Structure 1
């Protein structure tokens, strides 16, 4: 059975935060950039901020019916993103805790590899551990890819898990950079997907 994927509403925020927190509990990137003390609370706070202040008002968010799969995108129309991140920089630093400086250096290391042209950027995607292996990851990403294809726009993402690279390759992404993050951080892959050709 094909899972039903829909656009998120404010009612989905807390279920989506719970899913992403569970999915990223041991993710190398967030373990590197968020303090270890009360880590799961910090992770939830970060995901909540991203969904509430970036994804829903300025981007696109898709979820499965029970919000056990979540994908949060920024789009070429997400013109206020830089200002929002600037406004929330103190809060993000607080969430990172004693890893704030490392988080800042990490962002600086990734920035040169990020697109400077209009792009659909997959900021975060996760499937609750209870629902993994059911095709939900692919299903929740695909609406964003279709939307990008409809406007002839590239898509972009970053991942710090080698096992994710295979999934993203199957979705049409190619590696454009492999970055060894500073401060003994994990290797991170920047991946880009060209828009699918328009059927004749």
Structure 2
């Protein structure tokens, strides 16, 4: 059985690499992140989001060998993030087919929801239950803080993920079809 824990600042660099590997062939990042230096961009984007958004305004979860990573943001976390962080994130995306496109995804189905912003498992460890395990760790951690179910929402562009999240009691509340882009399933756990 895999043991998960809350990550610290020292875990961020290896977790950035884990997430960049996990998202190597992910439809959304392949569509939104420029193809030049794609893997390096992914790692830098993940590091920025972990270090400057999830760590101070949410929770980052991992295991001891950093083969799995998860970041979740507390309600309204994005409003607390410095504008410089958003500018650096936009710059890291680079020039892609989406550079001038504005995509509006629906708000969480339940107000004051936590956002499961990213979860990934290194390719060589996939298929071992780490993805489900790390999400269950997050949900149990949040719920135990208040002895109640904490609402959590997420978006995914991979239909395989939809099945995984449904097993973890998330339900699709919206499907966004983006012209020339991947579909986005918005899901909520109430």
Residue number in structure 1 paired with 2:91:
94
Whole-Å Cα distance in 2 between the matches of residues 9 and 100 of structure 1? Answer: 35
Alignment pair present for 1:44 and 2:38: no
5+ residue gaps, structure 1, are 195-200
Whole-Å Cα distance in 2 between the matches of residues 192 and 103 of structure 1? Answer: 29
Alignment pair present for 1:190 and 2:162: no
Residue number in structure 2 paired with 1:65:
64
Cα distance change, pair 100–144 in 1 and its aligned pair in 2 (3 A): farther
Whole-Å Cα distance in 2 between the matches of residues 162 and 75 of structure 1? Answer: 25
C-alpha displacement of 1:141 = 0.9
Q: Deviations over 1:8-48 (max 9, x none)?
A: 01111111011101000111101111111111111111100
The one of 121, 129, 139 aligned to 1:127: 121
Residue number in structure 1 paired with 2:176:
179
Q: TM-score, normalised by structure 1?
A: 0.87
- Higher fraction of helix: 1
Query: RMSD over aligned Cα, in angstroms?
Result: 1.8
5+ residue gaps, structure 2, are none
Q: TM-score, normalised by structure 2?
A: 0.91
Cα distance change, pair 16–156 in 1 and its aligned pair in 2 (3 A): same
- The alignment of Structure 1 onto Structure 2 pairs a total of residues equal to 187
Whole-Å Cα distance in 2 between the matches of residues 146 and 74 of structure 1? Answer: 15
Report the 3-state secondary structure (helix = DSSP H, G, I; strand = E; otherwise coil) of the residue aligned with 2:14: helix
Aligned partners of 2:177 and 2:183 also within 8 Å: yes
Residue number in structure 2 paired with 1:198:
none
